[in-house]
């Protein structure tokens, strides 16, 4: 109206697909993508996967495979993981963040892959020398 000189400003409402809570890696990806105003195809190119893969991650149809984890962390700018409390949880979390399989990490540490697998599952405690190798890998 010509006599009304009030301008109303408000932030653009978030789309219904915007995640309210971040429970999965797909939720983190969707939130970051929407915050940046990117299409799934654009994110897919950055991560090195197909746009359908991004769609499936965001819809919780499947989870990212290990080799994609480092690129996802790079895209997000942070590592979205729960705080690991026990040493086996820390080992598994570290391994996944690095995008390594148990076999690859075991080789880097210099231990048997079966030993690492059992340790991550909390089944038994490895020998002291093996435990020191694992701690050395994690904590330098």
**According to the model, what pLDDT value does residue 140 have?**
66
The beta-strand segments (E) located in 8-62 are none
> Residue 30 has which token pair?
């969707």
The topology (CATH level 3) of 25-76 is 434 Repressor (Amino-terminal Domain) (1.10.260)
Up-side HSE of residue 70: CA atoms within 13 Å toward CB?
Answer: 7
Sign for the CA dihedral angle at 111, 117, 120, 122 comes to negative
User: Smallest Cα–Cα separation from 88: which of 118, 112, 67?
Assistant: 118
User: Smallest Cα–Cα separation from 29: which of 84, 73, 81?
Assistant: 73
Domain residue spans in the chain?
A: 25-76, 87-139
- Summarised one tens digit per residue, pLDDT across range 43-61 is 999 999 999 999 999 998 9
- Summarised one tens digit per residue, pLDDT across range 99-113 is 788 999 899 888 889
Name the architecture of domain 87-139. Answer: Orthogonal Bundle (1.10)
pTM: 0.63
Q: How many residues does the chain have?
A: 140
Over 60: is that where the pLDDT of 1 sits? no
Instruction: Give the mean pLDDT of the chain.
Output: 86
């Amino acid at each position: 109206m010509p006599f009304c000189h009030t301008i109303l400003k408000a932030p653009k409402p978030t789309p219904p697909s915007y995640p309210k809570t971040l429970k999965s890696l797909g939720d983190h990806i969707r939130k970051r993508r929407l915050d940046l105003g990117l299409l799934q195809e654009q994110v897919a190119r950055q991560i090195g996967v197909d746009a359908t893969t991004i769609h499936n991650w965001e819809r919780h149809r499947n989870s990212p495979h290990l080799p994609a984890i480092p690129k996802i962390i790079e895209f997000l700018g942070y590592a979205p993981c729960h705080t690991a409390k026990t040493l086996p949880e820390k080992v598994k979390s570290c391994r996944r963040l690095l995008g390594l399989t148990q076999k690859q990490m075991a080789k880097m540490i210099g231990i048997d892959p079966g030993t690492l697998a059992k340790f991550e599952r909390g089944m038994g405690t490895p020998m002291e020398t093996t435990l020191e190798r694992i701690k050395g890998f994690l904590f330098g």
